[in-house]
Amino acid sequence: MSVLSAGKRKIMTLVLALILVLSFSLAGCSSGDSPSDAKTKDGKAQYTMWTFVQVHADYWKDAAETWNKNHPDEQINLKINVLPFDQMNQKLQVALNSGNGAPDIADVEIGQFAKYTKTNKPPFEDITNEVEPYNENLVKGRTDNYTVDGKVYGLDYHVGTTLVYYNMDIMKKAGVDPSTIKTWDDYVEAGKVVKEKSGIYMTSVETSSQFVYTAMVAQQKADMVRDDKSILSEEASVTAVQTLQDMVYKHKIAKTAEGGHQDVEEYYAAFNKGKYASVVMPAWYMSRMVSFMPKLSGKIKIQGLPIFKEGDLRSAGLGGTATVVTNQAHDKDLLKKFVVESKASEEGSIKTWTILGFDPIRSDVWLSPEMEKPNKYTDYFGTDIFKQMAVLKDEVGTLSFTHNSYPIIIDELLTNGMPKMMTKQADVQKTLDAVDKSANKRIKAGK
């Protein structure tokens, strides 16, 4: 497999972008367009949506059916295109930049959203007024992620409440009760017992992703960016990285994750085989366990994060994808109501659990009877999943994930920081100082 130089990659990206722009121009209306007067044979208005996840398409198919049931005078037909992640994001960005060919509705992954906020004028419709009636019950951090200058431009599918998933077969074998683990110091001491009595690592550390690190920073109510500058070398960030590095080299209760990432197939296989006693990941990781770790059904206990000190939060909202109405949409007012009602209404929010297995952005539904009804998740984790998560609903920290400098900071951290600190035991403070310097140079240069 050949590796292209940065210059060649840049040229290829420009060529591809030019081809896409030309294709939109030559085609007039692209596949993303749905003429405002387009109707199905049974009189439904036609709209288009792009997403990169098949199960999201399943959710929106159900949402359109629900909308038609509840709004007999505003019938819609939603044509949903599921595209590979990179292809969809590149195609969407070109379409929005060129002003032609974008779908009416699109999914935008949280890490991609910052690409559209550089000018503080996202190419999406302002849904602030449509969201306002639901604000009382929405987890604020999740709407804050997609708010620019006080205007809301997208709604997420889930909170992404970060949890510790304990393999109780291993914990019981070691004689450790997870409910006694309150702080990260407790977690380390418990890990030593687990390692001594079972020979199994307490957990893993990531080198090519940052879920655990970002959760640790967010739970300390800190951030990674301030005043357009990378601040990874500040105390909370250093504490988080040092804690993880010490788990590997000082306490020897952790090792680097298979594939460098806890959300890849190699890691699923390792955790399924019982190579780790616990893993820290968001609530949406339940779907990975159900799909890829069948041996652990009925053996996993979920719990909030340990804390560093009194006053810290016991969770963080990680990951996410907003659904937006693009500024090229037809019948914008109807589509804004459709998107917001589908995700923020009680009925729609509950379906993000029953269809997608996500923790809904409306925390008031977490204790609804519908959340305990049998499904593949309750079969795996038990019926009290949301009773356990409800105690955390006011302790979900967040970071400036959609700040336009965030992608650069993460890129520098994962390229020049985490691999060195986790695999070569590089000095944490010095490495993060260097990451800040490099990131801030790129931020200032605008690239």
What is the β-pairing status of strands 162-167 and 151-152? unpaired
Specify whether the backbone of 162 is left (phi greater than 0), alpha (psi in -120 to 50) or beta.
Answer: beta
What is the β-pairing status of strands 229-230 and 225-226? antiparallel
Q: How far is CA 86 from CA 194, 284, 403, in A?
A: 41, 21, 20
Rg of the chain, C-alpha, whole Å: 23
Contact 291, 180 (CB under 8 A): no
β-strand partners of 362: 138
What pLDDT does residue 41 have?
81
- What DSSP designation does 320 have? -
What pLDDT does residue 40 have?
84
Distance CA 109, CA 59 (A): 16
Count Cβ atoms below 10 Å from residue 292 Cβ, excluding itself.
14
How many Å from the N-terminal Cα to the C-terminal Cα in the chain? 27
Structure tokens that stand for 406 in this block: 């965030």
Per-residue pLDDT in tens (0 to 9) along the chain, 447 residues:
333 344 444 444 455 455 444 444 444 444 444 554 578 888 899 999 999 998 899 999 999 999 999 999 999 999 999 999 999 999 999 999 999 999 999 999 998 888 887 776 889 999 999 999 999 999 888 898 899 889 999 999 999 999 999 999 999 999 999 999 999 999 999 999 999 999 999 999 999 999 999 999 999 999 999 999 999 999 999 999 999 999 999 999 999 999 999 999 999 999 999 999 999 999 999 989 999 999 999 999 999 999 999 999 999 999 899 999 999 999 999 999 999 999 999 999 999 998 888 999 998 999 899 898 998 999 999 988 998 888 998 899 989 888 888 889 999 999 999 999 999 999 999 999 999 999 999 999 877
Structure tokens that stand for 62 in this block: 């159900």
- Report DSSP letters for 50-69, one per residue: EES-HHHHHHHHHHHHHHHH
Distance CA 391, CA 386 (A): 9
Structure tokens that stand for 33 in this block: 């367009």
What pLDDT does residue 1 have?
35
What pLDDT does residue 394 have?
86
Greatest Cα pair distance in the chain: 69
- Helix residue spans in 52-206 (DSSP H): 54-70, 85-98, 110-113, 128-131, 140-144, 168-174, 184-198
Residue 370, judged by CB atoms within 10 A of its CB (0-12, 13-18, 19+), counts as middle
What is the β-pairing status of strands 315-316 and 396-397? parallel
Q: How far is CA 262 from CA 102, 276, 381, in A?
A: 34, 11, 19
What pLDDT does residue 7 have?
45
Q: How far is CA 27 from CA 214, 239, 270, 326, in A?
A: 43, 54, 48, 19
Structure tokens that stand for 25 in this block: 């121009």
